[in-house]
Chains A and B, each alone.
Chain A
Amino acid sequence: MNSLRIDVDNIVFSYGVAPLLRQVSFSVEAGELFAVLGPSGSGKTTLLRVIAGLAQPSSGCIRTGGAAVDTALSPGRNVGMVFQSLSLWPHMTVFENVAFGITGPSSERETEQRVTNLLDMLDIADTRDARPDCLSGGQRQRVALARALVSEPRLLLLDDPFANVEHELRVQMRHDLRVVQRRLGITTILVTHDLEDALSIADRVAVVVHGVIEQIGSPASIYDFPSSPAVARFVGVENFIPGVVAHVENQTVEFSSPDIGKLRWSVARDRPAEGPSLLSIRPHALHIHPVDTFRDGRYSWFEGEIVTSEFLGEVVRYQVAVGGILVSVKQLHFLGTPPTPSGTPVLVGFDPTHARVFPG
C-alpha cells in the first residue's frame, strides 16, 4: 500500500459555545503509527472524526501528501476507520462485512481473493461465514480491521478499538495491530485514553487535554519528560509537591517546601525557573528506607511516616505523611518481605534527575 503523510493544520472545532478543539496542529509521517492520547472528553475522538471527514471543523485544514483535502467525507480520500464500537453489521457474515468495503470494478473472483487474503492475514479465515454476534471480542476486532483495510486505504484511523477489552486480549490485539501495520506500512492514527496502548505501539504520541495538544513526542519522551502538570498527571505522576525554586549556584537548584524542607541538587541543563513551583515525582521513583540508615548522597531525602500500605502483588503502594501532605510511594515486592506497617517512621529518598519541576 502506498502510505501517506498527513498534516493537520490549526484545526478548530466548536459545538455550541465552547470549542472542543483549539488550534490543533501536527503532522504524521508516511507509514507512522501516531497515537492521540487523552482523557475522556478531551476532544481526541472529535479530532479523529474531523480527520476522517465525519465532522466539519470550524477552521483549519487537513493536507494529505501535501495537498489540502475536502474536509467532508468523500470516497476518494482513501481512509479506513475502525470505530470504538467496531460497528460490524449484524445482518451480514464476516465475509459480507469485509467485502462491502470493496468498490469499483472488481470481479467476484477478485473480491473473493482480496477478502480471503485479508482474512488469512488476520487469522480469521475460519470465521468467514459467521455473523458478528457469534465471534469473540478479538475476532470482531480483527473483522473490523479487515473491513477497514480491504479498500486498501492510505490512512487508517482507529478510534479506541481496544476499549472495553480485557487486559490479556488487549495486549494480544495491540501486538497484532502493530504487526499488521508494520507489514502494510500504512499511516495510522490511533486514538486512545489508555496510556499503555499508546506507549506500547505508537511511534509518536500526542497528548490532548481540553482540546489542546499539550505535547508531542516519542512514548519514552512523553513518559520521562512531561511538558506540563496535566500531561504528567496523565502519564502517571501522582506526587506534586508545592514549593519555591531558587538558584543557589551556577548548576545547583534549591527547592524549599514547607512540607519536605529544603532540597538541593545539581542540574546540567534545563535549569528550572526561579519562583513558586511544583516538584513532580513518580511513586516508583521514590525509595523508602528505615530512618536510621545511611543516606546515599546521590539522593535527596526527607522524613515521613507510613499512613497506609496496599499490597498490589508486584508492588506495594505506601501513602507516606510528609509535613502536611501525603506522598505516594511504590516499592517492588520481594518474596518473603512483608509490607512495612503503618505508623513506621521512614526516610523517603529520590534521585533528583528523576523529578520534574513545573512552574507553580
Chain B
Amino acid sequence: MKSYAIRSSVVKRTFAVLLAAYLLVFLVLPIVKLVIAAITDETGQLIRGPLDVFFNHPLYLESLFNSIVVSAGAALLAAIAAMPIAFVLWRARTRPPLLVELFGFLPLFVPPFMLSLSLQSLLGRGSGLGQWLQSWGDMDPGLWGLPSVAVIEAIHYFPLVLMLLIMSTAAYSEQAHATASVGVDWRRLAIRVFLPLGLPGLGFGMAITFLKTLDDLATPLSLGLTNLLAPQAFFRVSTYGAQDPLSSLMAIAMILISALAWLASVVLVRQGLADWERPLNSPLPRIRGRLGTGGLCLGAIGAFYLVCYSGVILTSIARIWSYTALPESYSFAHYASALESETQAFANTFFYCGFAAVLDVAIGLALAYAIDHAPDRWRRLLTWSIASLLSVPAIALAIAYLQFFQGLRLPLFDEPLDATGFLLPLAFSVRGLPFAIRACHLVLRNVPASYIEAAQFSGRSRWTVARRIVLPMMALGLIVAFLICFGVSAVDLSSAMLLVPSETEAPISYSIYLHMQSTTGRGTGSALAVLVIAFVAIAMTGVVALLRARRAAAPPIRRIVFPGTQTH
C-alpha cells in the first residue's frame, strides 16, 4: 500500500509540474515578455517612447476608443434585442428543445466575418436586393462604417445572449413561475423577477460578446475598416515585425480592456462564478408541444438567421449572380472546387484544432480534478484564474507568442519555431482551456467518487476500474469536451492570421477568409463557409442524438455546454 501511495504521489507531482510548466511557458512568460517588450528597449532600459507615440497618435487613440465603443455597442445591442424576446419566451413558458438551445451556441463555433460577407453579398451594391433597397438608402454594410461592425457582431452573438438568458431564467420550478406570474403586472414581473433571474446569463453573454468583438480581426477587415485596435496591431506586426513595441502596447491594452470588461460583467451580476453558474444548470422540464407565442418567436429568429446567411448560401451555389435579387443560374461547382482545392486546409484544421483539443481535454481533466480536490479558498482562486483566461484576446496571445518564441528552433526539425505550425495549436489550446476545464469539470462530476469506490471494492486493478468503469462513463463527456475545444479553436481566425507560417498551412477559417477577399474566390469561400456551418450543425445534432440514445442524458450535455456545480 505504501509503495502505491508513494507512486501515486509521484505521478500527481509530475502532472502538477508539467501542468505548471505548460501554463508558464505558453501563457505567463509570453505575456510577461509582451509587457517587457512594450516598455523596454533592446538593452533592457525602461522607455516611454511607445506610450508617447500611442497616446499622441490620433489614429491609435481613435482605434482604442473605437474598439471599446464598438465592442460595448455590440454587447448592448445583442442584450437589448435578446431581453424582450427572452421575456416573451419566459412569459409563454417556452423552453426551446435541446437542439435549438445548442444552436444558440453556434456563434462560438462560427466566425462572425461569415455573417459580414453574407450580408454584403445580400445587401451590397452589386446585389439586386441592394439595388432595390437603394431608394431607402444605401444598405451595403461595407459602407456604414464602424456601426456595421457593432451590428454584425450583435446579430452574430445575439443567439448566444438569448440562450444564456433563457437558461438563466429557466432555473426554477414551474410552481415558482406560476407564483411569480399570478396577478402581477408584466412590468413589475420583468423588473422584479425576470431581470434578476436573467442577470447572470445576460452578464456572461454580454461579456463574451464584448471580448469576442474586441478580439475580432476578420470582420472589420472584411468591411474594409482598420481604425480598431485588433487590425492596427495586426498591421503593425505585419509591417514592423513581432518585436514592434507599439503592437505589444496595443496587445496589452486589449488584455486590460478585456480584463476590465470581464470584471465588470462579474460585478454586474454581483455574484461569484459558482453562484451565477448554478441557475444555468438547474434542470427544468422542457415544455414540449406547446408552440404559441414562444414557438413563433423562435421560428421568426430562425427565419431571420436563414435570411442573414442566405447571402453565403446563395453565393455558394450561384454560377452567375450580379445585380439580381437571386442568382441567375445555380451550380455545385463551388463545392466541388472547395472540396478539391482545400483538402490541405481541412487536414490542417483537423491537425491544429485536433491537437489543441486533445491537449485541452488532457489538461482540462487534470486541472478540473485539481480544482475539485483543492481546499475551498484555492478552489475559488483557481476557478477565477482559469475563467480570466477568457480575457486574453487571441491577437494579443499571438503577438506574445511571436515575440517569446522568436529565434527558438524546433529541436528535431531544426527549424525556427515560429516558421512551423506548432505555435498555432498551442495558442488554440491556451484559448480553449477555460472551455475545456468547464467541460471536463462536468465530465468528472458525471463520475462521482462513490462509483469508483464501488468498483474498487471488487478488488479489481486500478487499470480495470479505469478501463471498464471510469472511461466508459466519461467517454461521451470527453467527446463533447473535445468537440467544444475543437470548435472554439476552429473559429480563432485572429491567432491563425498571425501564427500560420504560410497560406498552404492555413486552417479552414483562414482559407475562407482568403477566398472571400477575392471576387473570384467568393463562391468557393462561401461553399467552404456553408460546409463548416453544416459540419458544426451536424456535430451538434449528432451529439444530441447520442444523448437521446442514452436515456436521461440530456441534463449532462446542458451542463457540459454550460457547466457548473450540479451534483450527481
Are B551 and A81 interface neighbours, CB within 8 A?
no
Of A72, A74, A80, A100, the contact of B468 (CB 8 Å cutoff): A100
**B202 to chain A: closest CB distance in Å?**
35
**B372 to chain A: closest CB distance in Å?**
16
Instruction: Give CA–CA (A87, B5) in the complex, Å.
Output: 25
Given contacts A100-B468, A133-B551, A133-B552, contact A87 B458 (CB under 8 A): no
Range for the number of chain A residues in contact with chain B: 20 to 34
Q: Is the contact region of chain B dominated by helix, strand, or loop, or is it mixed? A: helix
Residue-wise interface mask of B (442-461) relative to A, using a CB-CB cutoff of 8 A (1 in contact, 0 not): 00000010110111111110
For chain A, residues 100 to 139, give those with C-beta under 8 angstroms from any C-beta of chain B: 100-104, 131, 133-134
Of B448, B459, B469, B551, the contact of A75 (CB 8 Å cutoff): B459
Instruction: Give CA–CA (A52, B457) in the complex, Å.
Output: 9
Instruction: Give CA–CA (A72, B460) in the complex, Å.
Output: 15
Are A85 and B472 interface neighbours, CB within 8 A?
no
Instruction: Give CA–CA (A103, B457) in the complex, Å.
Output: 11
Tell me if B191 counts as interface (CB < 8 A to partner A).
no
Q: Name which of A72, A75, A89, A103 has the most chain B CB atoms within 10 A of its CB.
A: A89
Tell me if B1 counts as interface (CB < 8 A to partner A).
yes
Which residues from A are CB-within-8-Å of B456? Answer: 73
Of B455, B551, B552, the contact of A100 (CB 8 Å cutoff): B455
Instruction: Give CA–CA (A80, B456) in the complex, Å.
Output: 10
Given contacts A100-B460, A103-B459, contact A87 B473 (CB under 8 A): no
Tell me if A306 counts as interface (CB < 8 A to partner B).
no
| Complex: chain A residue closest to B475, CB-CB | A91
Are B459 and A83 interface neighbours, CB within 8 A?
no
Tell me if A54 counts as interface (CB < 8 A to partner B).
yes
Number of interface residues of B (CB under 8 A): 20
Tell me if A328 counts as interface (CB < 8 A to partner B).
no
Tell me if B288 counts as interface (CB < 8 A to partner A).
no
Which residues from A are CB-within-8-Å of B451? Answer: 87, 89
Tell me if B568 counts as interface (CB < 8 A to partner A).
yes
Which residues from A are CB-within-8-Å of B450? Answer: 83-85, 87
| Complex: chain B residue closest to A75, CB-CB | B459
For chain B, residues 422 to 459, give those with C-beta under 8 angstroms from any C-beta of chain A: 448, 450-451, 453-459
For chain A, residues 129 to 158, give those with C-beta under 8 angstroms from any C-beta of chain B: 131, 133-134, 147-148, 151
Which residues from B are CB-within-8-Å of A79? Answer: 457
Instruction: Give CA–CA (A84, B449) in the complex, Å.
Output: 12
**B449 to chain A: closest CB distance in Å?**
9
Instruction: Give CA–CA (A74, B459) in the complex, Å.
Output: 7
| Complex: chain B residue closest to A85, CB-CB | B450
Which residues from A are CB-within-8-Å of B459? Answer: 75-76, 103-104, 151
Which residues from A are CB-within-8-Å of B468? Answer: 100
Instruction: Give CA–CA (A85, B452) in the complex, Å.
Output: 12
Which residues from B are CB-within-8-Å of A133? Answer: 551-552
Instruction: Give CA–CA (A54, B456) in the complex, Å.
Output: 10
Given contacts A81-B457, A83-B454, contact A91 B472 (CB under 8 A): yes
Are A85 and B1 interface neighbours, CB within 8 A?
no
Are A89 and B473 interface neighbours, CB within 8 A?
yes
Are B460 and A103 interface neighbours, CB within 8 A?
yes
Which residues from B are CB-within-8-Å of A151? Answer: 457-459
Of B5, B453, B469, the contact of A54 (CB 8 Å cutoff): B453
Instruction: Give CA–CA (A100, B458) in the complex, Å.
Output: 7
Are B551 and A87 interface neighbours, CB within 8 A?
no
Tell me if A70 counts as interface (CB < 8 A to partner B).
yes
**B159 to chain A: closest CB distance in Å?**
32
**B167 to chain A: closest CB distance in Å?**
24
Are B1 and A90 interface neighbours, CB within 8 A?
no
Instruction: Give CA–CA (A94, B373) in the complex, Å.
Output: 31
**B237 to chain A: closest CB distance in Å?**
50
Instruction: Give CA–CA (A194, B551) in the complex, Å.
Output: 32
Are A72 and B469 interface neighbours, CB within 8 A?
no
Instruction: Give CA–CA (A257, B551) in the complex, Å.
Output: 63
**B368 to chain A: closest CB distance in Å?**
20
Are B448 and A80 interface neighbours, CB within 8 A?
no
Residue-wise interface mask of A (52-85) relative to B, using a CB-CB cutoff of 8 A (1 in contact, 0 not): 1010000000000000001011111001110111
| Complex: chain A residue closest to B4, CB-CB | A72
Which residues from B are CB-within-8-Å of A52? Answer: 457
Are B458 and A90 interface neighbours, CB within 8 A?
no
**B3 to chain A: closest CB distance in Å?**
12
| Complex: chain A residue closest to B375, CB-CB | A16
Are A85 and B457 interface neighbours, CB within 8 A?
no
Which residues from B are CB-within-8-Å of A101? Answer: 457-458
Which residues from B are CB-within-8-Å of A81? Answer: 453-454, 457
**B47 to chain A: closest CB distance in Å?**
51
Question: Would you mind naming 30 contact pairs between A and B with Cβ atoms under 8 Å apart?
Answer: A52-B457, A54-B453, A70-B1, A73-B453, A73-B456, A73-B457, A74-B1, A76-B459, A79-B457, A80-B457, A81-B453, A81-B454, A81-B457, A83-B453, A84-B450, A85-B448, A89-B454, A89-B472, A89-B473, A100-B468, A100-B469, A101-B457, A101-B458, A102-B458, A103-B459, A103-B460, A133-B552, A147-B454, A151-B457, A151-B458
Q: Known contacts A54-B453, A73-B457, A83-B454; can you find 4 more A-B pairs with CB under 8 A?
A: A70-B1, A83-B453, A100-B460, A134-B551
- A residues contacting B by CB (< 8 A) are 52, 54, 70, 72-76, 79-81, 83-85, 87, 89-91, 100-104, 131, 133-134, 147-148, 151
The 3 closest A-B pairs by CB, nearest first: A75-B459, A87-B450, A101-B458
